[in-house]
């Protein structure tokens, strides 16, 4: 699977490390999420403040990553720069859910696809997930294309989500990835 290395709560790909959040990551989170072009496809507060970032990280530190719920900073290996985040939530039926975001400065370099691939590998091989259930907010064609590239299929519209940057509820289109489709 592309040589991804999976350690306890750390996912390593060719160019990235996905690791638990640290308090000194707050400015990187704030920089990435306080951008309308990123936030318009997320359910995070907008504008996103340094206090929002610190609260998020402190909650993650107080509730460390577990098999059922994990949150990761996406870090470029050679620079140590935090460029985004992802998470995994595993239910009792071994269905993993979660999302991803990247700082707009790092869009278009394949980092999102690489992180999602490493995340999928971790879910299927370390957590023994039977499938991944993800999605994207309406209009986020980049996320849709990335998921499709990894083998995800669209399963329908599941809900409307609050999208503070847009100031309204937005449809979430759900996608699913089975292990056998990921391996192909």
Per-residue pLDDT of the chain (184 residues; tens, 9 = 90+): 445 544 567 999 999 999 999 999 999 999 999 999 999 999 899 999 999 999 999 998 887 777 788 999 999 999 999 999 999 999 989 999 999 999 999 999 999 999 999 999 999 999 999 999 999 999 999 999 999 999 999 998 778 888 878 889 889 999 999 999 987 6
Q: How far from the centroid of its chain's Cα atoms is residue 107's Cα?
A: 14
Task: Evaluate whether residue 65 is within a structural domain.
Answer: yes
In contact, 58 and 71? CB cutoff 8 Å: no
Q: What is the pLDDT of residue 2?
A: 46
Task: Evaluate whether residue 11 is within a structural domain.
Answer: yes
Task: Evaluate whether residue 123 is within a structural domain.
Answer: yes
Q: What is the pLDDT of residue 62?
A: 82
Averaged confidence pLDDT in the chain? 90
Task: Evaluate whether residue 157 is within a structural domain.
Answer: no
Task: Evaluate whether residue 73 is within a structural domain.
Answer: yes
Task: Evaluate whether residue 169 is within a structural domain.
Answer: no
In contact, 61 and 67? CB cutoff 8 Å: no
Look up the domain containing 20 and give its range: 5-129
How far is 20 from 28, CA to CA, in rounded Å? Answer: 14
Q: What is the pLDDT of residue 130?
A: 95
- What domain count does the chain have? 1
Q: Is 100 exposed, middle or buried (0-12, 13-18, 19+ CB in 10 A)?
A: buried
pLDDT in tens, 51-77: 999 999 999 888 777 778 899 999 999
Q: For residue 75, give the CATH number of its domain.
A: 3.40.630.30
Name, in order, each residue with C-beta under 8 angstroms of 124's C-beta and a sequence gap of 6 or more: 132, 179, 182
Task: Evaluate whether residue 163 is within a structural domain.
Answer: no
For the entire predicted model, the pTM comes to: 0.91
Taking phi over 0 as left and psi of -120 to 50 as alpha, with beta for the rest, 32 belongs to alpha
Task: Evaluate whether residue 138 is within a structural domain.
Answer: no
């Amino acid at each position: 699977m592309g040589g991804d290395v999976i350690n306890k709560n750390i996912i390593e790909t060719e160019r990235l490390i996905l690791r638990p959040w640290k308090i000194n990551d707050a400015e990187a989170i704030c920089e990435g999420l306080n951008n309308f072009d990123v936030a318009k496809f997320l359910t995070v507060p907008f504008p996103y403040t340094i206090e929002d970032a610190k609260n998020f990280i402190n909650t993650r530190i107080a509730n460390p990553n577990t098999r059922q719920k994990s949150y990761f900073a996406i870090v470029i290996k050679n620079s140590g720069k935090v460029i985004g985040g992802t998470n995994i939530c595993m239910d009792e039926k071994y269905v993993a859910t979660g999302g991803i975001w990247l700082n707009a400065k790092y869009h278009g370099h394949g980092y999102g696809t690489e992180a999602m691939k490493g995340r999928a590998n971790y879910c299927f091989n370390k957590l023994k997930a039977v499938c991944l259930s993800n999605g994207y907010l309406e209009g986020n064609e980049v996320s849709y294309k990335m998921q499709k590239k990894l083998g995800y299929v669209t399963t329908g519209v599941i809900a409307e989500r609050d999208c503070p940057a847009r100031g309204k509820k937005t449809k979430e289109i759900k996608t699913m990835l089975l292990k056998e489709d990921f391996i192909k």
